[in-house]
Chain A
């Protein structure tokens, strides 16, 4: 049951993004920035939290979930440390994702050779 919800919710988020891409011709980088910022705002408005409980991986795997994670980090850090938490939480929460991407990405650059794009 969880799998079906994850599939449907994750799929719908991707479908909506695809419609947005078709309509606006936005480049992938901008789409990603837009998604993360939307996730932050949805998290801050308290909408994304219940959504994650419902769809689990369907809500956390898309980049919206990454934005929500950033907001959660800031929120918890502000509760804990007050004003200075604003400068801690974001990176603390996203540390694992960003570090993993950078480290694995770097290792991949050592192992793999660039390939010619096949037509």
Chain B
């Protein structure tokens, strides 16, 4: 009799235990489901809010902008030919005039607008390089001549010059080695 009661009690305790555990488990699952639901909603929201880049439109704009800048360069070249500039100096003059134009437009705050519209089209030509030199120089003039203008003028020009020179040095070295061992003619 006593033993049976004890067994019953144990059963009840055991049942209580499992019920408690099941409850906890269900609770945890519920929380997990809620979290998952929330994350999904959040991701959906983020996707909705993030402005989608209009890839095709951007590419067309870049094409037009870049093309126009190159045509401007070509016009300068033809004009210089008319002014009887020595043939070998024409590319140099063109570069100088393109850079001058770009720096002026940067100073007048027009170039940033071209960049906003044209994307890569304003970045890829040499005018984009000139813009990346002039813009920080103007922007940081308040921080002084040496650590303001002097240092910041190289923010983008520095890496470009470093890796350009390094890359051409490596290619030159390969060429020099091949040339010296007679593997390449001329």
A22 B58 Cβ-Cβ under 8 A: yes
* A20-B108 Cα distance, complex, nearest whole Å: 29
Query: Interface residues of B toward A: which range?
Result: 35 or more
A82 vs B172: C-alpha distance when bound (angstroms): 10
Q: Are B73 and A63 in contact (CB under 8 A)?
A: no
Decide if the interface of chain A is mainly helix, strand, loop or mixed: helix
Q: Which of B77, B121, B168 contacts A74 (CB 8 A)?
A: B168
In the bound complex, residues from chain A placing their C-beta under 8 Å from that of B13 are: none
Contact of B134 (CB < 8 Å), options: A73, A108, A113, A115 = A108
A44 touches B175 (CB 8 A): yes
Q: Out of A6, A90, A117, name the residue touching B169 (CB < 8 Å).
A: A90
Q: Please give, as numbers and ranges, the residues of chain A lying within 8 Å of B157 by CB-CB distance.
A: 98, 101-102
Chain A residues whose CB sits within 8 angstroms of the CB of B182 once the complex forms:
none
A98 nearest in chain B by CB position? B161
Q: A22-B59, A74-B168, A106-B153 are in contact. List 16 more A-B contacts (CB 8 A).
A: A6-B71, A7-B71, A14-B125, A22-B55, A33-B159, A56-B77, A57-B70, A57-B71, A57-B94, A61-B70, A67-B167, A77-B172, A91-B165, A101-B133, A101-B134, A114-B141
Interface size class of A (residues with CB under 8 A): 35 or more
> Which residue of B has the minimal Cβ distance to A30?
B159
Interface contact B156-A29, CB-CB below 8 Å: yes
Q: What is the minimal beta-carbon distance from B115 to any residue of chain A, in angstroms? A: 9
In chain A, positions 13-50 with a C-beta closer than 8 Å to chain B are 13-15, 17-22, 28-29, 31-33, 35-37, 40-41, 43-44
Q: Contacts A11-B70, A70-B168: A60 and B91 contacting too (C-beta < 8 A)?
A: yes
